[in-house]
Structure 1
Amino acid sequence: MSAMHAIPKLSRAQAAELVKRCYDLTPSEVHSLPSWDDQNLRVVTVDGGQFVLKIMNSKTNKNPAMTEVQTYAMNLLQEKGFPTQKVLKTTTGQVMFLEDIDCGHGLQKFLVRLLTYLPGIQIAKAPLSPELLYDLGQTAARMDLVLKEMEHPQLSALQRDDFKWNLSNVLLLEDYMNLLDGHPLQAGVRTVLHQYKTYVAPKYSAFRKCVIHGDLTHLNMLVEADESHAYKLSGIIDFGDMSLGYFVHELAISIMHAMLARPNPMEVGGAILAGWESVLPLNQAERDCLFWLVLSRFCQSVVLCMQILTVQPENQEYFVDSAKNDGLILQQLLDLGKERVEEVWFQTAADCSRTKSQMK
């Protein structure tokens, strides 16, 4: 998620022309969508179709094999019934292509894809019921089981050893600890990194490997209300952080980011865990390390948001608020301690699973 690369900035007119030329679709509306460092545009066509035009940042263009695998994974999951986007082919049969775009520094090549538009709102904007959290955990586990069996000639592109947001690379945060000098969280982050190094890392040989989405955040999960006004998952988006990893990493990331969407973060972990274990029960090593992996993800968010601030000072309000909110929950979890948090998570998961079995 580094910002040291060019971010595309197509005008709406440029985007409409590109869609018409490459996909033979006639846009009637083009709207900007949120994005970290790519450009996402919602395109509505004259016949009522809705799509997302995704123009990747210049750094991503240097590794098209990774984007190719991500695109393949999205289409595979969509075929298996998951609510993921489908990538459309151009009039010449391509699922992605390079386009020359001038972002103010001369022409540069950017990777372009057109995806189906998924309905719904971000899960962060919806009330998170235990049922929805259970569904989130269950869906994440089912999805990773499909991805584990995925075959692709470029699969090795997902071995992202230098990717700072990969949960396998938590210790890369040590290079940025100076950003926390004088910060009240510095001691807490150091504690988590120490526990990761001495407690978690030795257990990695017992973690089960797979391909993970890697970014199942409260912003990348979409929901819609059904006839009874209960919210259901309607979309899984943004596969840009996919990597070869571990099942327990996906679970930890899902729990951490769902915590950001609840007034009482402690209410989140148990229901997600119950849904996950209805598909894929944790082994003992994964169970022992879940707490520290969730906290490690909080540390990544706090430290890397501060690092991004050094290169994106214009986005100070967003990143300062993000680091502050994540830091508050991180400190709360540290204060409660591993034993107490696990007691809440695993007891809630057991209660949730018992309720589900009684309803069958």
Structure 2
Amino acid sequence: MAANHTIPKLSQSQAAEIVQKHYKLTPSSLRFLPSYEDQNICITTVEGDKYVLKIMNTLSSKDPTLIKVQTCAMDFLHQGGLPTPTALKTITGEDMFLEDIDCGYGLQKYLVRLLTYLTGVPISEVPLSPQLLYQVGQIAARMDNLLKEMKHPQLSVLHRGEFVWSLSNIPLLEKWLYVLDGDPLQEIVKSVLHQFKTTVAPKYSSFRECLIHGDFNNLNLLVQANEGSGYEISGIIDFSDMSFGCYVYELAITIMYLMLEHPNPIEVGGAILAGWESLVPLNAAEKDCLFWLVLSRFCQSIVFARLSVTLQPENEEYLMISSKKGIPILRKLFETGKEHVEKVWFTSAAEFSHLN
């Protein structure tokens, strides 16, 4: 978790100066975008072009190789036909650069990129039809299949062993459970952690490994209206949680976040699963662990949100978006139980697949 003093807080004039200095572009307007640990600023130039200036927090900025490989992955997926941003080259031909900036804590080094702007609105702002959820599952699987083909001399940096958002590292949550002290939710989280250790961990060897986006969520998926009456995915953004993981992790993360936006969250899993399995059918171990992996992601989201608020109290509203929606869904899933939820998911996925 990035502490408050590590998070960039550039002013509009500082952002405009950086864009002029490194890209020879003249901004006509700047708009701050929501962000978890970094800073994102939408830049419109006098020519009418749009970009996103992304300034990494000081902790992430200390690992430019990791950011470089993630940026290459975005470009690789873009070349493969997926709607991902790409980094604009600076006047010296670089994808990114370190800049000394004073955000109120003295001069610190921040890693800066200027990314292409993708049109659309977050998927959280539109109705989630079964067809759109199917498309989400399918594009997530397509993305991970493409990433298996990616080559890069420093690809190994994406083996992020202690990365706290990795689903492999669910047991690490135990040391932060104190943020739920006094909250009955703590017992549910403890139960999920126990199930993870006893049910999921023994099946690791059967999970198929791959590179994953790792944060395929309701704010990182952009959509726009299509020629019919529905929507299509127009953008996949924010690759900062990208790492080596497993296919089933990506699927579980996707299902969890899309549940936050649906009036009947349990129904979300079936359509996403059908889209996913149209390209990457799950094996028996992956199917058996999907329920607990989805609940594990809910636990990560809730615990880390509470922890982050202790570090960034002024950003509480944004940090708690997923957590506030997720708590009642986690309770409902846990109380409903694995057997019933799986029946809903796998039965509706099978029915949906017959229609597509």
Q: What interval of TM-score do these two structures reach, taking the shorter chain for normalisation? A: over 0.9
Does the aligned pair in 2 maintain the 1:207–1:246 contact within 8 Å?
yes
- Identity over aligned residues, as a percent? 60
After superposition, what is the alpha-carbon deviation per residue over 1:246-293, rounded to whole angstroms, capped at 9, x for unaligned? 000000000000000111101100000000000000011001000000
**Number of aligned positions between the proteins:** 356
Paired AA for residue 233 in structure 1: I
User: Which residue pairs with 1:92 in the alignment?
Assistant: 92
What is the deviation of 1:314?
A: 2.5
Q: CA RMSD in A?
A: 1.2
Q: Quick check: 226-235 or 137-146, which moved more?
A: 226-235
Query: Aligned partner of 2:158: which letter?
Result: L
How far, CA to CA, are the matches of 1:76 and 1:83 in structure 2?
11
Whether the aligned pair in 1 keeps the contact of 2:71 and 2:87 (CA below 8 Å) is: yes
Say yes or no: does 1:339 pair with 2:339.
Answer: yes
Unpaired runs of at least 5, structure 2: none
Instruction: Give the Cα separation in 2 of the matches to 1:244 and 1:5.
Output: 29
User: Counterpart of 1:59?
Assistant: 59
Write the letter of the residue equivalent to 1:348: S
AA of the residue aligned to 2:316: Q
Aligned residue in 1 for 2:315: 315
Query: Which residue of structure 1 aligns with residue 29 of structure 2?
Result: 29
Per the alignment, residue 301 of structure 1 pairs with 301
Paired residue type of 1:28: S
Equivalent residues in 2 for 1:109-128, closer than 5 Å:
109-128=109-128
Aligned to 1:234: 234
Counterpart in 1 of 2:190?
A: 190
Q: Which residue in the other structure is 2:286 paired with? A: 286
Q: Is 1:139 aligned with 2:139?
A: yes
Partner of 2:162 in structure 1?
162
Separation in 1 of the partners of 2:318 and 2:21?
36
Partner deviation per Cα, 1:203-252 (whole Å, 9 max, x = no partner): 00000000000000101000001222311100000000001100000000
Write the distance in 1 (CA, Å) between the matches of 2:66 and 2:225.
34
Aligned residue for 2:99, secondary structure, equals strand
Report the more deviating stretch, 77-86 or 20-29: 20-29
Q: Deviations over 1:288-333 (max 9, x none)?
A: 0000000000010111111112222223344456433211101100
**3-state DSSP of counterpart to 2:6:** coil
The CA deviation at 1:87 is 0.8
CA drift of 1:5 comes to 4.8
1:213 aligns with 2:188: no
Tell me what 2:106 maps to: 106
More divergent stretch after superposition (157-166 vs 58-67):
157-166
The one-letter code of the counterpart of 1:107 is L
One-letter amino acid of the structure 2 residue matched with residue 182 of structure 1: G
Range with greater deviation from structure 2 (74-83 or 10-19)? 10-19
3-state SS of the aligned residue for 1:86?
A: coil
Q: Deviations over 1:15-73 (max 9, x none)?
A: 12211221122221111111111111111112221111111110011111110110000
Amino acid at match of 1:316: E
Structure-1 separation of matches of 2:117 and 2:229: 22
Which residue is equivalent to 2:269? 269
Rounded to whole Å, the distance in 1 between the matches of 2:11 and 2:5 is: 19
Contact 1:95/1:113 (8 A) holds in 2: yes
